[in-house]
Amino acid sequence: MQQPDFQQYTDLISEKLGGKVLYATDDFFAEKENLIKPGRGIFIPDKYTDRGKWMDGWESRRKRVPGHDFCIVQLAVPGKIHGFDIDTNHFLGNHPPFASVDGIYVTQDLPIEALIHAPDWQELLPKSPLAPGSQNLHACPDRTLVTHVKLHIYPDGGVARFRVYGEVVKDWGSVASDTKIDLASALNGARALASSDMFFSDMKNLLMPGKGVNMGDGWETKRCRIPNNCDWVIIRLARKGHIDEIHVDTHHFKGNFPESCALEACSCETNAQVLAGEVAWKPLLGKKLLAAHQEHIFGKDEIEAHDEITHVRFNIYPDGGVSRLRLWGK
């Protein structure tokens, strides 16, 4: 099945990015916090708790009164939503038949009761059917800026994971032009657009905040047997700028780090042109040797002179894994 376009955007409520599940009407069987964890959730046939079957997701009890359940999730950063994945993986006889999503933009922390009853919630996804054990993918045509979303399930049941894909909206007017900032951070709006290979783990992990928690929390390609191979990721920077310092972190990659890496850069108005190969890539960082399980820092004297750039191509030789990439600049 072809991936919907909206899944190319950042999951704005990801636990890894900094999203938070603030409230649920009921999570008797399975905790609301599971909704934003990585992966699609697992199933362990013989695992039970004192409340019933253990499930890797959010699951409310069977409702015996009027009404329905809902939860509220705070985005890691404000953003414009492009689509949703309401994943009922492993919820087969206990999934909700329908769901809807609302959104709101608030500029200050509100007590949870005030947030629940705030008058400014807007419908982003109307009440829609959910299939059991499936990724239920829904586009969001409304590009309203939001800070929180409310997932309604009708009337009750379980959802394994909830994804809210969209664009980070950063107030660049509040950032001074001489402020050093990570232009490759997903929190600032950078996006990984394409890669040669991500057999073991996703290219998007390169741009996540913090240190990688394990080897799966990075970008790792399969072993390539082709001589002189080069694997790569193309990244759209959060903002056009100059790069002053580059960090390449191979944390957790001990027997499978790349032998070396290099960076190229371009300036282009559209992602489509870059992906179509209609740009001239210029050297940004020459080929540098890498070592296992450490952060490599390359300073200004190692970075090629360049005008303002919008995109980079991160090359690794011949293959392997990198945990994080930081491009500090102005």
Q: Where are the domains of the chain?
A: 5-168, 176-329
Query: What is the predicted pLDDT for the residue at 177?
Result: 86
User: Helix, strand, coil: what percent of the chain each, to 5?
Assistant: 10, 40, 50
Q: Token pair of 241, please? A: 């700028």
Q: Which of 88, 96, 83, 87 is nearest to 138 (CA)?
A: 83
Q: Is the pTM of this model over 0.85?
A: yes
Half-sphere exposure of 263 (CA within 13 A, CB side): 23
Q: What is the pLDDT along the chain (330 residues), one digit of tens a residue?
A: 567 899 999 999 999 999 999 999 999 999 999 999 999 999 999 999 999 999 999 999 999 999 999 999 999 999 999 999 999 999 999 999 999 999 999 999 999 999 999 999 999 999 999 999 999 999 998 888 999 999 999 999 999 999 999 999 999 999 998 899 999 999 999 999 999 999 999 999 999 999 999 999 999 999 999 999 999 999 999 999 999 999 999 999 999 999 999 999 999 999 999 999 999 999 999 999 999 999 999 999 999 999 999 999 999 999 999 999 999 999
Query: Which CATH number is 5-168's, of 1.20.140.10, 2.60.120.260, 3.90.1150.10, 3.10.20.30?
Result: 2.60.120.260
Query: What is the predicted pLDDT for the residue at 97?
Result: 98
Query: What is the predicted pLDDT for the residue at 199?
Result: 97
Give yes or no on whether 5-168 and 176-329 have one common fold.
yes
Write the CA distances from 256 to 197, 239, 287, 321, integer angstroms.
15, 32, 18, 6
Q: What is the CATH number of domain 176-329?
A: 2.60.120.260
